[in-house]
Amino acid sequence: MKRILNMMTVLLLFTVLMACTAAPVQLDGVTNQPTAQSKTQSNGKKVLFVGRDSGGDAIVTKRLKEIHGYEVTTIADKEVSPEKAKGFTLIYVSESVNSGKIRDNFLKSGVPVIYAEPQSTSDTGMTVTEGYGKLDAGNVAKTIQMKDSKHQLAAGLQNLVDVYKANGKMGYATPGAEAIVVATVPNDEEKATIFAYEKGVKNAKGDPVLVREVFFYLFNGEEINQTDDGWKLFDAAIKWAAGNK
């Protein structure tokens, strides 16, 4: 009988020990379960964000983290060099940068790039020299005209789309013949607001495109002005550029 009781005691202690091991350990209200941040950092998706860590740029980086699951590294335009692209799966160049510091630093990086700075399209060959510009509130800049609604970059949107809640600033450029033109300024097909180059085609200067490139109209400071449709287009640009179909 005593032997049976001893065995039961051992079994009870073993059961308690296993339960403690399996249960999450809580320290200061936080368990040992993986956090959302650790999951994001371990999925291999890393974006180099060239811009600022505040204002409208912070809205974009937050979306890249929370909606797209990217680990985001932000650098200032003055820090840009070809070597900075190493180890990243996507590069986003904000309109807040000085394009003179961006130039063609990322052209041979092998990393897809989204440019929101219109002047960068000239430096990178996405458009011809001076083939870029911006619209402001005086140009009634809140609506774009979808030109290729079937493309993934169109996010299923058609015809005229309000991407801003109120008139604001919007970038545009004139792409080369082999570009994918997704959207333009209404009634002005020469001014593309969203366009892209697939890997392997030629850009506006006749040079081969080594990796996917996208131009996106979003001006710094207009992030808070974006409509739901505007963000749908942004999300589509991120997914397509990185090849996440």
Any idea what the CATH number is for the domain that residue 141 is in?
Answer: 3.40.50.880
Q: Let me know if residue 56 belongs to a domain.
A: yes
Closest CA to 80 of 118, 135, 123: 123
Q: Let me know if residue 7 belongs to a domain.
A: no
Q: How many domains does the chain have?
A: 1
Q: Let me know if residue 41 belongs to a domain.
A: yes
Q: How many CA atoms lie within 13 A of 64 on its CB side?
A: 27
- Angle at CA of residue 194, ends 192 and 196, nearest 5°: 105
- C-alpha to C-alpha distance for 137 and 125, rounded to whole angstroms: 28
Strand partners, 216: 194
Q: Let me know if residue 120 belongs to a domain.
A: yes
Q: What is the pLDDT of residue 244?
A: 60
Rounded to 5 degrees, φ, ψ at 240 are: -70, -45
Q: Let me know if residue 40 belongs to a domain.
A: yes
Q: Let me know if residue 220 belongs to a domain.
A: yes
Please report which confidence band the pLDDT of residue 99 belongs to, taking 50, 70 and 90 as the band edges: very high
The residue range of the domain holding 215 is: 36-241
For the stretch 112-157, pLDDT in tens is 999 999 999 999 999 998 899 999 877 779 999 999 999 999 999 9
Per the prediction, the chain carries an average pLDDT of: 86
Tell me the whole-structure pTM to 2 decimals: 0.82
For the stretch 3-60, pLDDT in tens is 444 444 444 444 444 444 444 433 333 333 333 333 344 478 999 999 999 999 999 9
For the cut 90, the answer to whether the pLDDT of residue 93 exceeds it is yes
Q: Let me know if residue 17 belongs to a domain.
A: no
Q: Let me know if residue 25 belongs to a domain.
A: no
